[in-house]
Amino acid sequence: MQQVSAPLLEVEDLRVRLRTPRGPAEVVNGLSYTVGRGETVAVVGESGSGKSVSVLALLGLLPARVATVTGSARLDGEDLLTMSPERLREVRGPGVGMVFQDPMTSLNPVLTIGRQLVEGIRAHGEVSKAAARERAAGLLAEVGLPDPQRALDRYPHELSGGMRQRVVIAIALANNPSLLIADEATTALDVTVQAQILDLVAGLQSEHGTGVIWITHDLGVVAGIADRVLVMYGGRCVEDGTVDDVLERPAHPYTRGLLGALPDLASADDGELATVPGVPPAPTDLPPGCVFWPRCPVRSDPRCATEQPPLAVVGASGGGLPHRAATWCEEG
C-alpha cells in the first residue's frame, strides 16, 4: 500500500502522565505513529500497556484533573491536543468516531437507543428530529441490527451484548468519521458476532476510506484485519511494521513472547502454552532501561538494563514500510 498523500493521523511523541495516589504514573511514554486513509492499524499489548489511555488522550477524554498529555496528534494537519474545547467537540464524531470496550456500560441505561443515536447526529449539523431518526434507523440496519425501527424505541437493557455493541458502533459511525478508533470493540463478543462486526467495519472502510485504529489483544483479529501492527509495552511502542513483518518475523523479545503465548490448534503438540513470565511494570515505577528488561528472556546486551533501546529499522519489508523494533537483541 503506497502512501502518496499526508497520513490521516500523525501522532508524535505522545506522553500521558496520570496523577495517582501512589505518585505520578507514566502511562504513555513517547508514542509516535501514523494512520493513513483507509488503513487499519492494530495496537496490541497486554492490559495496562497504555493502549486505551493513548487513544483516550487523543480525544481529550481523560479527566483533566489527573491527566497531563503532551506531544502532538495531527488529524488532517490539525493538532487534536492543542485545539479549543469547542473545536474538539466538533471533531468528536465527524472527525474521530470511537467505539468503547464494554457494551454493557457504554450506553446510557435510561435513554432509548434512538435518542442516543439522534443526539449524536444532531450535535453536528442542522438536522430535523425526523430526519435524524431516519438516519439512525439506517445506521442500525447498516450494523446489522434486526428490526431497526423498533430498536430505536428500546432501552439498552432490552438488547443483548452483541446488539448493544452494534449500537455503540452505529453511534461511532453516525457522522461518517474519517478515523474510527475501536478500543477492544469485539473483546466482549462471541466469535460469530465478532466476525460480523469485523466484516462490517471492513465494508465501511472500503466504502468511505475510513482510517481505523483497532486496539485489541487478540492476535487472531490482528492477522485478519490489520494493515500494520503496533506493539505496545509499558506505554511505549516496542515494535511496529506490516502485519506480515510483525507476526511472522517478530524482532522484539516481547512480541515473540506474545506470539508464543498463542495456542496453536493445528499443531499436535499438546504441551503447555508458552507464557511471558512476570507482570508488566507498574507505570508509577518504570525500570531505568528497557521497559521489558525485567521480564526479558534474552538480555543479550548489557545496555538494556540502563538504557531504553530506540525504535530502529530491523529489516526490509514489502511496500516500503519500515519494520521497526526497540531492541538491541540480534535476530534469533
Partner 1 sequence: MGVSVIVFGLVQLVPGDPIRLALGTRFDQETYDALLARSGLDQPLVTQYFGWAGRALTGDLGVSFRSGETVTSLIAERLPATLTLAFASILVALLIAVPLGTLSALRPRSVVDRVATVLSQIGISVPEFWMAIVLILVFAGTLGWLPSGGYVPLTEDPGGWAQRLLMPAVVTGVVSGSVITRFVRSSVLEALGADHVRTAQAKGLPARQVFTWHVLRNALLPLVTVTGVQLAYLLSGVVVVEIVFSWPGLGQLALQAVQARDYPVLQGAILLFAVVFLLINLVVDLLYTAIDPRIRR
Backbone angles phi, psi at 32, to 5 degrees: -130, 130
Q: For partner 1, which residue of 12, 76, 119, 301 counts as binding (CB under 8 A)?
A: 119
**Beta pairing partners, 10:** 34, 74
If you count them, how many residues does the chain have? 332
Q: How far is the CB of 67 from partner 1 (least distance, A)?
A: 13
Number of residues that bind partner 1 (CB under 8 A): 35
Q: Which of 197, 192, 147, 188 is nearest to 170 (CA)?
A: 197
Name which of residues 148 to 207 contact partner 1 (CB under 8 A): 155, 157, 168, 171-172, 174-175
Is the CB of residue 278 less than 8 Å from the CB of residue 268? no
Min CB(109)–partner 1 separation in Å: 6
Figure out which of the listed residues 40, 51, 100, 304 binds partner 1, where binding follows CB under 8 A: 100
d(CA 231, CA 327): 13
Q: Which stretch binds partner 1 (CB under 8 A): 42-50, 56-64, 142-150, 193-201?
A: 56-64
Contact 261, 273 (CB under 8 A): yes
Stretch that binds partner 1, among 42-50, 83-91, 142-150, 235-243 (CB under 8 A): 83-91
Q: Which among 98-106, 128-136, 272-280, 282-290 is the span making contact with partner 1, rule CB under 8 A?
A: 98-106
Of 3, 32, 61, 141, the one binding partner 1 (CB under 8 A) is 61
Instruction: Tell me whether residue 122 or residue 299 sits nearer to partner 1 (CB atom).
Output: 122
Task: Report CA 283 to chain centroid distance, whole Å.
Answer: 19
Asked if residue 181 lies in contact with residue 99, where contact means CB atoms within 8 angstroms, the answer is yes
Geometric angle at alpha carbon 268, from 264 and 271, rounded to 5°? 75
Q: 238 in helix, strand or coil? A: strand
Contact residues: partner 1, CB under 8 A: 56, 59, 61, 85, 89-94, 96-98, 100, 102, 105-112, 116, 119-120, 123-124, 155, 157, 168, 171-172, 174-175
